[in-house]
Amino acid sequence: MTSINIIGTGNVAWHIATALQNANGFSLQAVAGRSENSLKDFKLLAKDTGLLNTLSPAALTIIAVADDAINKVIKNIPYTTGLFVHTSGSAPMSVLSQFENHGVFYPLQSFSKEVSVDFKEIPICIESHDKKNVAILEGLGFALSEKVKEISSKEREQLHLAAVFVNNFTNHCFTIAQDLCDEKALSFDLLRPLLETTAIKALANRPDTIQTGPAKRNDTETLKSHIKQLSNPKQQEVYKTLSAAITSYYGKKL
């Protein structure tokens, strides 16, 4: 049984800890957080919970904290034995180079504690400088998911950038759409079939082959009308930027 410590109490830590409950061959030894209050939700998931300086060594330590907190956290881990990995999509593996055995265990998904996920469907990107460590991470990866891929830090950095466009930017567009519906007391559910069809089409085809809309057609009258409808300058800016990008991509100019 491979013992695991998780450092962090955020969304990624929560979902990994939850998924580990059904991972054969792996045992969640402890979860460490910045305060006892942040650890309340983890009491039933790990054998032990506590502050970082109370952690006992484990075979594998998963550092699931924000990118800008990794350097601070690793300076305060009270042991150096075992394999240490972070879960960041953009931080290089080298940030953990102070540990002899280190790597990356990156689940490519957007996590919220309130929304359950099927971990078996989540791609897990792994990396390490040592083949034995890769084997350990592959073992954990396949214990949690059916999709495990070894990629380099540079490849993961590019993948994370692509993920921001797929998830963060599109969700902001959904938020703008929600606000526009709210302004006229329209139900956002009216857009649900379109939203779902858009995702299905993008998954079934190359996205660049299924683009539609006034920017693709260079329909300047509709574009001007839409911009005029938008009373919020920030929404206008998003609309203009995205429309210009689409028109330019397909070889036209606004």
Its CATH class, for the domain covering 2-151, is: alpha beta
The Cα 109–Cα 126 span in angstroms is 14
Residues 246/211, Cβ–Cβ less than 8 Å? yes
| Tokens standing for residue 198 | 């858009």
The CATH H-level superfamily of 156-249 is ProC-like, C-terminal domain (1.10.1040.20)
Virtual CA dihedral for 199, 202, 204, 210, nearest 10 degrees?
130
Q: Strands 148-150 and 124-128, how do they pair?
A: parallel
**Predicted structure pTM score:** 0.90
Virtual CA dihedral for 199, 200, 206, 212, nearest 10 degrees?
-70
Virtual CA dihedral for 210, 213, 216, 220, nearest 10 degrees?
180
For residues 11-19, give the mean pLDDT: 96
Residues 64/84, Cβ–Cβ less than 8 Å? no
Q: Mean pLDDT over all residues of the chain?
A: 95
168-223: pLDDT as tens digits: 999 999 999 999 999 999 999 999 999 999 999 999 999 999 999 999 999 999 99
Q: How are strands ordered across the β-sheet holding 102-107? A: 48-51, 26-33, 2-7, 60-63, 83-86, 102-107, 124-128, 148-150
| Tokens standing for residue 79 | 């042991």
Q: What are the structural domain ranges in the chain?
A: 2-151, 156-249
Residue 254 has pLDDT above 60, yes or no: no
